[in-house]
Amino acid sequence: MEKIITLVTKSTILKLFIKKCQKSGKLSKAEKTVSSMIKLLKINSYKEPLILIEQAVLNIAPPIIIKKKRIGSYIYYIPTQINIKKAISIGISWLLGSVKNTKELAAEIINAANFQGITWKKKQLYIKNAISNRVFSHISFLNFSKSAHYSKYLSQKKEYIESSLVGSFNKQHSCLKKIPSIK
């Protein structure tokens, strides 16, 4: 138990791992779970357990997150970049959510370090979903709180486009009378 506490001070990813394992405020139970997982990792793999855990979490951590944004009656799924701390936190929660006991967790960590397993497939599907929704990535920069603002923005944009088209038409055909803008 003392050995695990010294390991915790060295690795911030392991600290996060223990905090995510914690259920209903029982830190000692989470530490026991992580220490038994580390023992299983020592037995089942040839690498150092801390390096294996960090490698697995970094392999699973997603570089982007998909946020929902509602504009009018539509819901857009917008991929946005996140910082490394948030990505690591999501990766750890995916790891812990995909397994039920410590033996499965140790096996899943080994698989994740080798770019295999349930969580690796989950990350690949997540990235595939983000790539398919990259069309909507420009929407996050508009920052419209209500659909009325968005419709106002669209109407102004439409008026600007129509006025520029009419203006260019009049310049090309100066002999014609001015055409009123379409509303």
Handedness of CA 146, 68, 22, 63 (dihedral sign): negative
* Inter-CA distances, 163 with 31, 125, 150, 175, 179, Å: 67, 45, 20, 18, 10
pLDDT at 111: 92
Q: In a structure prediction context, what are the per-residue pLDDT tens digits for the chain, which is 183 residues long?
A: 445 544 444 578 888 888 888 888 888 888 888 888 889 998 988 888 888 988 999 899 998 888 888 888 888 888 888 888 899 999 999 999 888 888 888 999 999 999 999 999 999 999 889 888 888 777 755 554 445 555 565 566 556 555 544 554 444 444 444 444 444
Eight-state DSSP code of residue 77: E
Burial letters 78-112, b for 16+ CB under 10 A, else e: bbeebeeeebbbbbbebbbebbeebeebbbbbbbb
pLDDT at 168: 44
